[in-house]
């Protein structure tokens, strides 16, 4: 019976069992019943009750698996959102600092190269600002690309549900 594999907390929440893959092992073993069940002559009502109980436990375990998987995915998305935010803040702070320091340096270099003070006054910050904007764009693109490679679909749960559906179909036809 599946119930012997579940862990429950005091509040009734089902925790994923450490041996949660027992269904797969059973299916791989050819769906053979344990020896103590081979000569089991229970009534149809008892079998239906057991099926109901096992299905309820299975659904609870699948929900617990989905919650766990979604928590992991949310943490990963949160971390990438943090990278995106930090990248934006650093790009902004870097732009301010570089615009101040490098603009003054570039301004002096442009004046020394023969450009007028007027032209050097707007060209130096423009050049430095463009470089900082490119760096900020690269950091933001890194985070966007990380988001593109992640999905919110709980893939392990979907796979497990498909396996359980197949297992139940095989049990129902047996």
- Domains in the chain, number: 1
CA distance 65 to 54: 16
CA distance 69 to 156: 7
Q: Is position 174 within any domain?
A: no
- pTM exceeding 0.85: no
pLDDT in tens, 60-77: 999 999 899 999 989 999
Q: Is position 108 within any domain?
A: yes
Q: Is position 14 within any domain?
A: no
Question: In Å, how far are 32, 84, 154 from 140, measured between CA atoms?
Answer: 55, 6, 26
Q: Is position 40 within any domain?
A: no
pLDDT in tens, 7-47: 555 555 555 544 444 444 444 444 555 555 555 678 888 88
């Amino acid at each position: 019976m599946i119930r012997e594999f579940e862990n429950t907390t005091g509040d009734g929440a089902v925790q994923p069992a450490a041996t949660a893959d027992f269904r797969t092992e059973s299916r791989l073993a050819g769906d053979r019943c344990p020896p103590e069940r081979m000569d089991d002559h229970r009534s149809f009502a008892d079998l239906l009750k057991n099926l109901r109980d096992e299905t309820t436990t299975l659904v609870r375990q699948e929900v617990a698996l989905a919650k766990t998987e979604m928590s992991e995915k949310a943490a990963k998305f949160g971390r990438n959102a943090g990278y995106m935010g930090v990248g934006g803040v650093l790009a902004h702070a870097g732009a301010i600092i570089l615009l101040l320091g490098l603009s003054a340096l570039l301004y002096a270099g442009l004046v020394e190269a023969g450009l007028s003070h007027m032209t050097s006054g707007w060209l130096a910050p423009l050049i430095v600002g463009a470089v900082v904007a490119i760096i900020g764009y690269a950091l933001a693109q890194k985070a966007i690309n990380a988001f593109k490679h992640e999905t919110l679909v709980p893939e392990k749960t979907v796979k497990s549900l498909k396996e359980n559906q197949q297992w139940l179909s095989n049990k129902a036809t047996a």
